[in-house]
Each structure stands twice: as structure tokens, then as C-alpha cells.
Amino acid sequence: MPIVDASQVRAQLADDADRTLICDVRSTMGGADPVAEFASGHLPGAILVVLDDVLATAPAGIGGRHPLPTPTAFASALGALGVGDDDTVIAYDGRGGAIASRFVWMLRIIGRPAHLLDGGITGWDGEIETGHGRRRPSVSRTAVDWPVDAIARADEVVDHVQAGGVVIDSREAARYAGEVEPIDAVAGHVPGAVNLPFADNLDAGGRFRPPAVLAERFAEAATDVGAIVYCGSGVTACHNALAMEHAGFARPRVYVGSWSGWSADPDRPVAVGSEP
């Protein structure tokens, strides 16, 4: 159950409040101040998790803009926040899960319980706290290797396309087509990739569409247990990964380097236009 609503969050808290952590996930992207944003309003008892500090390491060229941290660094960062091995994480953000899905995906691929709050902070129908929140005592957390079958590298993306596999570009249509590129130096998409923007997983109210609707959306990928998803930097691709899991499909691999990594390699081909 990768995606939960407010009533399910309350049930989880009632069942095991001591080992259930609400995590407010923010990022410095776009010049945002995560600490100030968190202080302006968050779910009661939530702790702040910053993408750039906890869920990624420094940009690394062909490794992409948001490479995964080492397992040891990830465990250490979570331990410092008080997130223990056996804690259940319920994560949210203010962007329909665009950022928080990365955290949930990272935990789920290493076998830890984690869920995304449907609708994010606007999907919560209860009290909102302000201020800097309460700091939890640090804990010791076990480092777990990233499973190789959850992650794809650029060469594996190439091989998958050549074998007739499904590769999904999760960015908006204009970036996929190469009409605009606000971040990376090169515009376009991985040749052979289809475009299923992550934002289309959501309805007009910012909630995930029903599993049956998502299943129809990802029908082409349903027959491919090794499907690969990517985006700009390996963050919003996780939104599509969770949506596919929510629809009952096998969780796809994520090409973490994504377009930022692919386009940083001058030897990689680039496709433009609305077709793969």
C-alpha cells in the first residue's frame, strides 16, 4: 500500500503512534527555504526531511542532479532525524507527492514500511502546526544496500529499449518533446522512451486517480516487469513508480541519473518531438 489517505494515517497512528513518523519532505529547488516553509505549516508532530540533505548526494555529471546517497550516508541521516529501522514512515509534501515520493520509494525498495499521503498537506483534513517542530532523539540505523533490481543505469536503459522494453519519461510533454528545457543543457528525451507525465497521476484536486484508472494509464508497461521510469533528476520518476505499484503492477526500475545524467554525456543520442 504505497499511497494512503488521511483516515488511514489516523488509523496507523492509533495502532502504533510510537513507531509511526510523519515526514514533511521539502527541497531547495527553485530557491525555496525548506526550514521556513516547514515552519509556516506542517502536520502535527511531523519532522522535516530535506531532499538535498537526506535523499540525494551532490550532483555528479552523468550520475545526475540528485544521485542516491550511499547506504551508510542515508542510514546516518535518518538516524540523526530519529527514524529507526522499524519505524513506519508516512511522507508528504506540498506538491502532490512530487518530492515525497522519492523518500517513500527509497524506503520501500530496501524493504522498510513507507507510505505517501495522498494529496500531500492539502490532503490532510486536520490540524496544522506551525513553528520548527519537535526534534526527536537520534537513533542507530542499519545501512541497507540499494537493490540492483530496483535501479537502472544508462546502459541498461539502452539495452531495455533495444530489447523492446518499456521506458517511461515522467516529465511534462514540452520537456519530453524538447520544446523547452528550463534546467538541463540539452533538450529532448531518451530515444525510445514514451511520455507519461507524473502529474497526470493526479486528478484536478491533487489526489491520485483510482487504481483502475492508473492501471489503464500504465497498461503498456504492465506486461513489462522490468519497465524503467526516469524524469529530470530521478525524483518525480518515483511518483510514477509508486503509481504503478498502487495500480497493482510490478514496481518499475528507476533510472536515477535520469535526463540530467543522460544529457550530460555527449555520446548519448537525443530524441525530440512527441514520439518515442
In the structure grid, which three cell numbers stand for residue 52, read together? Answer: 538535498
CA distance 272 to 276: 8
CA distance 154 to 258: 8
- Of the chain, the end-to-end C-alpha distance in Å amounts to 31
The identity of residue 75, as a single letter, is: A
In the structure grid, which three cell numbers stand for residue 32, read together? Answer: 525555496
The identity of residue 124, as a single letter, is: W
- Tell me whether residue 231 is one of the annotated catalytic residues: yes
Q: Is 220 helix (H, G, I), strand (E, B) or coil?
A: helix
Q: Strands 114-117 and 88-92, how do they pair?
A: parallel
User: Any residues with CB less than 8 A from the CB of 249 and at least 6 apart, and which?
Assistant: 215, 218, 221, 222
The counts of H helices and E strands in the chain are 10, 10
Cβ neighbours, 10 Å, residue 243:
30
**Of 149, 158, 160, which Cα lies nearest the Cα of 265?**
158
Contact between 135 and 272 under an 8 Å Cβ cutoff? The reply is: no
Write down the catalytic residue from 104, 228, 231, 247. Answer: 231
CA distance 104 to 166: 23
Residue with cell 542515508: 74
Q: Which residues are catalytic?
A: 231
